[in-house]
Amino acid sequence: MIQSVFRKLSLEESFYICLITMMCSADVTDSKSYHKLNQNHESEFKYDGYSDLIKTNIHKNYIGEDYPDDEHVEGQERFPFFDEYGSGSNITVQLGETAFLNCRIHDLQDKTVSWVRRQDSDVHLLTFGRQTYSTDSRFSLNFQQPNDWRLQIRYASPRDEGIYECQISTHPPNVYTMRLRVVVPKVEMVDDHGQVIEEKNYETGSTIELKCVISQVPSPAANVMWRHGIRLLNYDTSRGGISVKTDLLPQGAVSRLYIANASQRDAGNYTCAISEQSQTTVVVHILNGEHPAAMQHNSSCQKAYAFILIAVLLLYHLERNY
């Protein structure tokens, strides 16, 4: 009879039935041992999610319970376990954003969850239960119902990169490890040839066109903001003739600012930003028929005169004191 049953089963189904049979003969009765043994072989039998369906059916037909489930056979000791599919082990965020490290746990019972950070050989306790123990106020526990012991890190920076562990107070502790990566975006103002610029000259009455290239971001940069000095231009209607066009890319964006009929009031600093930490600025000069080279020469002369004046004042101050 057993042989006839196995002939009707596929390779994957036969494997899990043999696995269960070995567990029973070895007197493996706790669910923790089952999950550990099952995880060791799971990667060997994955065909487009079919093995998960097989596991579920085998549990229903041969064990009498769904998988995974918090309900266990009466008399069996229960153990907490991580929902690895709902947590994620590699987290990438952008500089200045809030990082969320999810840790979903089933059947926690009376056990306690803690977060620690590993830096080389050092271990730093961040949270224990729902209390935060980190001296860095950017770290906190942001628990999400029903079972997500989520660690929150505000204003993420490169110094936050590394290994984080979500731990359950079993004996020995059950640990789920995550790696955090913080990406520093690249924001540059470029000319028509793609060369980075710091200044740009326009004639009175012409159209100002500035191009900002954003790259090295985890997701498309949808919110590209333009400012003239401290004035936000994206939604400015007071002047007229201002428009912004942004093309999203897989890991960044290209944004262009247009200002028609330029005048002296349009001169000054223009900033392209995706956050307070990721931005760049270019100086725009509006010329009244003056040649750019002559203007740059005058600017250099002014800087030289200022330097000489500071040197004279410094010498005068020293002579008076000594």
* Better-scored residue on pLDDT, 305 or 275: 275
Calculate what percentage of the chain has a pLDDT beyond 90.
54
Q: In this predicted structure, what is the pLDDT of residue 69?
A: 45
Q: In this predicted structure, what is the pLDDT of residue 309?
A: 72
* pLDDT tens digit sequence for 176-189: 999 999 999 999 99
Q: What is the mean pLDDT of residues 248-269?
A: 94
Which residues are within 8 A (CB) of 73 and not within 5 positions of it... i.e. 6 or more apart? 65
Strand 225-228 relative to strand 113-119: parallel, antiparallel, unpaired? unpaired
Place of tokens 């070895």: 26
* Better-scored residue on pLDDT, 308 or 130: 130
Q: In this predicted structure, what is the pLDDT of residue 250?
A: 85
DSSP code, position 61: I
Assign residue 106 a region: left if phi > 0, alpha if psi is -120 to 50, beta otherwise? beta
Q: In this predicted structure, what is the pLDDT of residue 84?
A: 80
Residue whose C-alpha is closest to residue 226's, from 183, 296, 273? 273
Helix (H, G, I), strand (E, B) or coil at 15: helix
Q: What is the mean pLDDT of residues 255-260?
A: 96
Q: Is the pLDDT of residue 274 over 50?
A: yes
Structure tokens at 31: 């669910």
Please state the separation of Cα 20 from the chain's center in Å.
Answer: 41
pLDDT confidence band for 307 (50 / 70 / 90): low
Q: Is the pLDDT of residue 280 over 60?
A: yes
* Better-scored residue on pLDDT, 65 or 282: 282
Q: In this predicted structure, what is the pLDDT of residue 64?
A: 36
Q: What is the mean pLDDT of residues 226-246?
A: 93
Q: Is the pLDDT of residue 218 over 50?
A: yes
Buried b (16+ CB within 10 A) or exposed e, 59-82: beeeeeeeeeeeebeeeeeebbbb
- In 48-121, which ranges are E strands? 81-82, 90-94, 99-101, 105-106, 113-119
Whole-model pTM: value is: 0.59
Q: In this predicted structure, what is the pLDDT of residue 305?
A: 63
The domains of the chain, with CATH numbers, are: 2-63 (no CATH), 81-183 (2.60.40.10), 186-292 (2.60.40.10)
* pLDDT tens digit sequence for 88-127: 789 999 899 999 999 999 999 999 999 999 998 899 999 9
* pLDDT tens digit sequence for 35-67: 443 444 333 333 333 334 333 333 333 333 333
* Better-scored residue on pLDDT, 18 or 275: 275
Q: In this predicted structure, what is the pLDDT of residue 90?
A: 92
Q: Is the pLDDT of residue 275 over 90?
A: no
CA 205/CA 263 separation, integer angstroms: 6
Q: What is the mean pLDDT of residues 304-310?
A: 71
Number of helices followed by number of strands (H, E) in the chain? 5, 20
Query: Is 99:180 a contact under the CB 8 Å cutoff?
Result: yes
